[in-house]
Amino acid sequence: MLAFETDCHLFQDCGFPAPSVWSFIFEPMFTVGPVEVNKAMVLAFISTALVVGFFWKAFARPKVVPGKFQLLAEVLYDFVRRGIGREVIGKKAEPFVPLLVSLFFFIWIMNIWAVIPMAQLPATSIIAYPAALALVVWVTYMTVTFKTNGFVGGIRNLCVPGGLPKGIYVILTPIEFVSNIFVRPFTLAVRLFANMFAGHLLILTFIIGTWYTLGTVVGAFYSVTSLIMTLLITVFELFIQALQAYVFTVLTATYLAQALEEAH
C-alpha cells in the first residue's frame, strides 16, 4: 500500500489509512507453469542475478593488475574474507568465504530494495526469505559439525561444552541441544525478518502520514514534519540494512567456527 493510493486526507471525515497485512502480500505478477511469481520473488531473482553477475563479471578473466571493476570486487570480497571470515573463523575460513560473501551481499541487496523507487519493499520483510537463508546456514554448519567430528563427536560439539563441572551437564546439555539445533536458525531468521519488517512499517507509516495530512494549512505543517521523519528513518534504515546483513554473516561465521572445533 502506498500513500498516493488513497484520496483520504486529514479533516475529511476519514480515518488514517494505516499500513496493513496487504502492505506485505502481493498479487502474482505472472506465472511460470504452476508457480505464481509475485513482487518479492522478482526482487529475490534480481538480487541473485546482481550478486552472481557482478562477481562473475569481475573474476571471469582476472588480471594481475586489476582494472577498476575488478579492484572494486576484490575490495568487497576481501572485506568479508578478512573482516568476517578470518576474524571469526581464523585460518580455516577460506573454504567458507564464498558462502559468507554470497550471504552478505545477497541479504544487503534484498534489504536495500526498501528504499529503491518502484520496488519499495525489503524482500527480507517476508519471513520465507530469512527462513530459507537460515535453513541454508543450519544445514551447512550441521554438516560441517558432523563431518569434522564424526557422529559422536558432533553431538558432543553441539551439546557438551568442555571445561565445566560434571554436575552442571545435567542441566546444560539439553539447553545446549535445543539452543544449537533449534533456537539458532529460528533467531537467525527472526532477527533479520523483524528488523526489516519494522523498518518498512515505519517508513510506510510516515509516507502515508505525509500524504494523509496534506490538504489544509494546519495539515501541511504535520505533513512537512512527517516527510522529514520519513527521510530521517530512510537514512537510518540504510545503516540498519547493511548492519543486518553484517550481523547475519558474522553469526553464520560464528556457528561455522564452532562446528570446526574439535569436540572436548
Task: Please state the three-class secondary structure of 136-192 as a single string.
Answer: HHHHHHHHHHHHHHHHHHHHHHHHCCCCCCHHHHHHHHHHHHHHHHHHHHHHHHHHH
Q: Give yes or no for residue 263 having a pLDDT over 60.
A: no
Cell of 165: 563441572
What is the per-residue pLDDT for 187? 96
If you write DSSP's letter for every residue of 232-261 in order, what string do you get? HHHHHHHHHHHHHHHHHHHHHHHHHHHHTS
What is the per-residue pLDDT for 92? 92
What percent of the chain lies above the pLDDT cut of 70? Answer: 91
Q: What is the pLDDT of residues 151-198, one digit of tens each?
A: 888 888 888 877 667 778 788 888 988 998 999 999 999 999 999 999
Mean pLDDT of 33-51: 93
Mean pLDDT of 96-106: 97
Determine the Cα–Cα distance for residues 138 and 248; give it in Å rounded to an integer: 12
Q: Give yes or no for residue 3 having a pLDDT over 50.
A: no
Q: What is the DSSP letter of 13?
A: S
Residue whose C-alpha cell is 495539515: 219
What is the per-residue pLDDT for 213? 80
Determine the Cα–Cα distance for residues 124 and 114; give it in Å rounded to an integer: 10
Residue whose C-alpha cell is 537460515: 134
pTM: 0.89
Of the candidates 237, 204, 38, the one whose C-alpha atom is nearest the C-alpha of residue 120 is 204
Between 159 and 232, the higher pLDDT residue: 232
